Structure 1
Amino acid sequence: MTTMHTQTSPPNKVSRLLLIAITGLCMAIGLHYAMAQTLAVEAALSTLHVPTGLNIERFSDVSALGAPRMLALDRQGRLLVSLSDTGRIVRLNAQGDAEVIAQGLNAPHGMVLLGEDLLVAEQTGVVKLPKQGDGWGAPQPFIRNLPSGGHSLKTLKLSPDGYLFINVGSSCNVCVEDNPTRATLLRYTLDGRPAGALLTVGRHAQSAIWARGLRNSQSVAWHPQSGEMFATNNGADNRSGQKNGVIDDDLPPEHLNKIEAGQHYGWPYCWGDPAQPGQLMQDPNSVGETAVCQQAQAPALLLPAHSTPIGITFLDQSRLPDDLKQDAIVALHGSWNRKQPSGYALLRVQFRNQQPVASVPFIEGWLQGKQAWGRPVDVIVGADGWLYVSDDLTGWIYRIRSL
C-alpha cells in the first residue's frame, strides 16, 4: 500500500505577524475587560459604609446561574446557595467558584442538612436530596401539600432541639385566610411529621402550626445562650393610621418577634405601636374581634417600615470583634412602595441580657438616594468565622471580615 504524504507550506511572515497581533489584541481586550470589571466592583464596594476595622469584599459572583437567596453550610464548611429563580442550588469552594449541585427544583429557598442528606424547601413542600458521592441525588418528597402562591418562598431551619421549622407566608397583603396554615410558622419532626403547638388526640390529624399571625417570617434564629427563637417578619403594605386615611410610609413597622408556641402575632389586624414599644396597635382598616390586639403577642423589637427584613444570624461563633458577638445581624432586602425607599442594608440588633434592645446600622450604601444597586437577602457565619451575605440583585456573595 502506498502512503501519500502531503507537504503543508509554513505560514508566511505576514500571516504569523497578523496572528500574533490578533492574539495580543484579544488578550489585551480580555485583560482590559477583567480590569474594568475589577474596578467596577471596587467602585461599588467603596460606596458602602462599613464599621471601622472591618472590610467587605465580593467573595463570589453567581449571577450567571441565578439570583442568590438563602445560605447554608455543608459538612465540610462549604457555602450552599439557593437560586430560587432558576431552580438551582450551588456550592462554593474556598475561592468562591460555584458548582451546581441540584437543578430543576421548584423555587428552592431554605436548606437544612439532615445527617448526610440535604433538605430543600420548595414552594409546595420540602424535598430530600439523598447523599451521593460528594453531592446529592435526585429529590424525594419529604413534606407535601404546603400552600403556594402569594408569599410562596419557604424558609427551612433546624432548631437546636431537633425540629424543622418552615415559614408559610400569607396569600395576600391584608385578608382573613381560608387556609389556617397561611401566615404561620410550622414545626415538624425530623422524619417529616407535623409537631405543632397544639397536641391533638383521637381521630384528628396533628397540626403543624407553631405560631400564627405572621404575614411573612422569612428567617429565624435561636439565641445561642437562652435558646429562644427570634424571627424576622414583613408587615403589610399601603396602610394608614386612620380609617380610610392616606397611606403612611412609616406604617406598619417591620417586626423582630420572639416566637413562642401557640402565640398569635397580630396580622392582619394589628402591628407594633411605634409610640408605645412593647404594645400592638389596631389597623383601623382591618378590624378583627374585640381585644384581638390585646391578646396577640407584641414584637420584641420594631424595625424600619417596609425595609423587608429577611435573613438573621447571631455572631457568637464569628471571628468579628468581641463587642459584636452578643448581637445579631439582619439583612434588610429593601422596600418597593415608599416615596423614600428604606432598607437595602445590614442591621445590627443589639442584645442585652439575652433580649433585643435596639437596632443600629451595620453596613449601608446599597441604596444611593432613591436608587439601589444591591439587595441583601441572607446572612450566615461561615466555617472560617467570617460573615457571608447574599445579594439577589447583583448576584454576589459578600464576605465581611476583620482587617
Structure 2
Amino acid sequence: MLRFPFQQSAATLLLLTAACNQGKPAADTPTNTPAATKAAPAATPTASAPALPKPYATESTTKRSKVIGWPAGKTPVVPTGFTIAEYAGELNSPRWAYVTPNGDVLVAEANTIPTSFKKKVTAKLDLDPSKSLKETSANRITLLRDTNKDGKPDVRETFLANLNQPFGMLVLGNYFYVANTDGVVRYAYKPGQTKITGSGEKILSLPGKGYNNHWTRNLLASADGSKIYVSVGSSSNVGENGMKYEQRRANILEINPDGSGEKVYAAGLRNPVGMDWNPVTKALWTAVNERDELGDDLVPDYLTSVQPGAFYGWPYSYFGQNEDPRRKGERPDLVKKAVVPEVPLAPHSASLGLAFYDGKAFPAKYQQGAFVGQHGSWNRSEFTGYKVVFVPFQNGKPTGKSEDFVSGFVLNNGTKEVYGRPVGVTEMPDGSLLVLDDAGNKVWRVVASSQTSNQAAAAAQKSASTLASVAR
C-alpha cells in the first residue's frame, strides 16, 4: 500500500554506498553483482525454511490465462461480512494506486511493451489471450476523487500523461514523484490539484525493460521524508543472460528526495514490487515474485521483512540456502548469506501487491495484517494466484498461512478463462480496500458490511439535510 509510512533508524546498516546525481549514475553506482554483494554481512535469520520439493519434481509447464472480462453484474468474491463493488471502470491496464494526502486516488495505467518481433506481431494482432501484451501502453496517471464520500468517485481527470510505463507514485513535500520504468521523475505539486502540466525533473535513471513484467518500479518514502525506497526487479528469470545485465537490479534501492545518495538497501530480491511499512515494528516489508521453470511447486513467492544490507538469494539460491541448480557452485559465499523469508506464498502466483491494514473499519482479525495481490500464474499446470490473499499478523509478526480474501477471478481452470487479474492493493482513508484489476480494466472496492451500513446512513442523513435546507 502506498501511503505515508514509518521511518527506520537513520543508522541502519547499508549494503553499499555510491553517488547518484540527477539521474546520471556514477561509475561506481551500486549493483547486485557478485562484486557488489561480496562484502555484505550475514543477516540475522528471521524464519525457518519450509520443506520444498526437489527441482524438476514436475515438468515446467506453460499455461496462460484467457481473459474474457467481467460480465454485467458479476464481481469478485469476498468473505462473509464484506461487500465488493466496482469503484472505477473503463481504465487501460490499471496496475497501481496511490492515495494523496487530501484523499484523491491516483491510478497508474501502463502495461508490458513487446520488444521482440514475435511479441510485437502478437500484440498488434491481439493474439495474447492473457491481455499482458498490448501494442501500446496508456502511460498515464488518472485521478479519481470522491467529493460526496459515497464510496464512488465523481471526479475523474487525467492527472499526468505521456509517461514511460509509470508505476510507483509518491507525494513528498512540494513534489509529486512517479517511477517510470527507466527512472524516477518529480514534478512541482500543490495539494488538491487535479492535473500536472509542467515538465518534470528526472532525478534518478534506472535500467529499463525486463523479464515478463519486471519493468515496474515502485516507490515508498520514510516517515520523516528523508529517504525514498525504489524497487527494481531483475531483467531475467535467473540471470541466464549474464549478471552484467543485472546491475542495480533485483534490489531495493535507497535515495535522497533529490535522487542523490543511492545505496542498495537490500539485494537478491528477484522482483520486489509491493512494499509497505509494518505498522507495529516500523520495518520495511516486501512481496516478492520469485523465479520460474523449476516445476509446479518451485519456487514459492514470499512476503518478508527487508533487513538493511541483507541478501535474499537471487539468482544463486531460493528460500535461504536452497541452491538453484542452474547456478550451482557459482557463489557459495552468497548462498550461505541468503536470508530465509518469513512467509511463503503460492509458487508462480505472481505476488505483486502489498498493503498492511492499519485501519479500524475491518474486523479485528484483519487489523495490522497484510493483504497481497496475486496477479496469477503462467508457469504451472494448474492456475494459482488470481486473487488477493490475507496474511494474519499479531504484534508485528505473521501468525499463520495466507488465506483467500478476494477471489472469483478464475471462471474455468480447464478452459483457462479468467475474468481479470488483480495486482495492486491500497487501503483508503475510510478503511476500505482498493484492488487494481489490470486485465479487467477495473478498480474494485472492498468494504466491511458494517462500514457499508454506516456509509449509507451518513449519505441518507446528508440527503435529508439537503432537502430540509431547500425546503427552508
> TM-score interval w.r.t. the shorter chain?
0.7 to 0.9
Contact 2:237/2:291 (CA < 8 Å) preserved in 1? yes
2:422 paired with 1:385: no
Aligned-partner Cα distance in 2 for 1:318–1:87: 34
Query: 1:294 is paired with a residue of what secondary structure?
Result: helix
Aligned-partner Cα distance in 2 for 1:190–1:129: 12
For each residue in 1:95-119, what CA deviation from the matched residue of structure 2 results, as whole angstroms up to 9, or x when unmatched? 3353111110011110000124210
For each residue in 1:116-161, what CA deviation from the matched residue of structure 2 results, as whole angstroms up to 9, or x when unmatched? 4210000111111212654323242232321112122211111224
Letter in 2 for 1:271: Y
What's the counterpart of residue 200 of structure 1? Answer: none
Alpha-carbon RMSD across the aligned residues, in angstroms, is: 1.7
2:442 paired with 1:396: yes
2:288 paired with 1:237: no
1:320 to 362, 375, 379: 362
What's the counterpart of residue 297 of structure 2? Answer: 250
Letter in 2 for 1:142: K
Unaligned runs of 5+ in 2: 1-69, 111-136, 147-151, 450-472
Aligned-partner Cα distance in 2 for 1:232–1:182: 16
Per the alignment, do residues 225 and 139 of structure 1 end up closer, same or farther by CA in structure 2, a change over 3 Å counting? farther
What's the counterpart of residue 205 of structure 2? Answer: 145
Contact 1:253/1:302 (CA < 8 Å) preserved in 2? yes
Contact 2:311/2:334 (CA < 8 Å) preserved in 1? no
Aligned-partner Cα distance in 1 for 2:177–2:159: 13
Per the alignment, do residues 397 and 127 of structure 1 end up closer, same or farther by CA in structure 2, a change over 3 Å counting? same
**Higher Cα Rg, which structure:** 1
What's the counterpart of residue 334 of structure 1? Answer: 376
Per the alignment, do residues 145 and 116 of structure 1 end up closer, same or farther by CA in structure 2, a change over 3 Å counting? closer
Query: Would you say how many aligned residue pairs link Structure 1 and Structure 2?
Result: 334
Query: 1:107 is paired with a residue of what secondary structure?
Result: coil
What's the counterpart of residue 271 of structure 2? Answer: 216
Letter in 2 for 1:177: M
What's the counterpart of residue 32 of structure 1? Answer: none
Per the alignment, do residues 269 and 223 of structure 1 end up closer, same or farther by CA in structure 2, a change over 3 Å counting? same
Letter in 2 for 1:324: Y
Aligned-partner Cα distance in 1 for 2:98–2:274: 12
Letter in 2 for 1:125: G
2:339 paired with 1:281: no
The Cα of 1:260 is off from its aligned counterpart by 1.0
What's the counterpart of residue 363 of structure 1? Answer: 406
What's the counterpart of residue 17 of structure 2? Answer: none
Query: 2:431 is paired with a residue of what secondary structure?
Result: coil
Contact 2:187/2:201 (CA < 8 Å) preserved in 1? no
2:334 to 285, 292, 306: 292
The Cα of 1:180 is off from its aligned counterpart by 2.9
Contact 2:187/2:200 (CA < 8 Å) preserved in 1? yes
2:87 paired with 1:59: yes
Unaligned runs of 5+ in 1: 1-38, 197-208, 240-247, 273-278
Higher relative contact order by CA 8 Å / sep ≥ 6: 1 or 2? 2
2:189 paired with 1:131: yes
2:242 paired with 1:187: no
Letter in 2 for 1:367: V
Aligned-partner Cα distance in 2 for 1:89–1:259: 29
What's the counterpart of residue 105 of structure 1? Answer: 163
Percentage of identical aligned residues: 32
2:237 to 170, 173, 181: 173
Contact 2:387/2:421 (CA < 8 Å) preserved in 1? yes
What's the counterpart of residue 309 of structure 1? Answer: 351
Give the alignment's TM-score, normalised by structure 2: 0.68
Query: 1:166 is paired with a residue of what secondary structure?
Result: strand
Aligned-partner Cα distance in 2 for 1:267–1:219: 17
Alignment of 1:190-201 (within 5 A): 190-196=257-263
Alignment of 1:69-108 (within 5 A): 69-84=95-110, 85-94=137-146, 95-97=152-154, 98-108=156-166
What's the counterpart of residue 220 of structure 2? Answer: 157
What's the counterpart of residue 4 of structure 1? Answer: none
Letter in 1 for 2:345: L
Query: 1:99 is paired with a residue of what secondary structure?
Result: strand
Letter in 1 for 2:165: A
Aligned-partner Cα distance in 2 for 1:75–1:353: 27
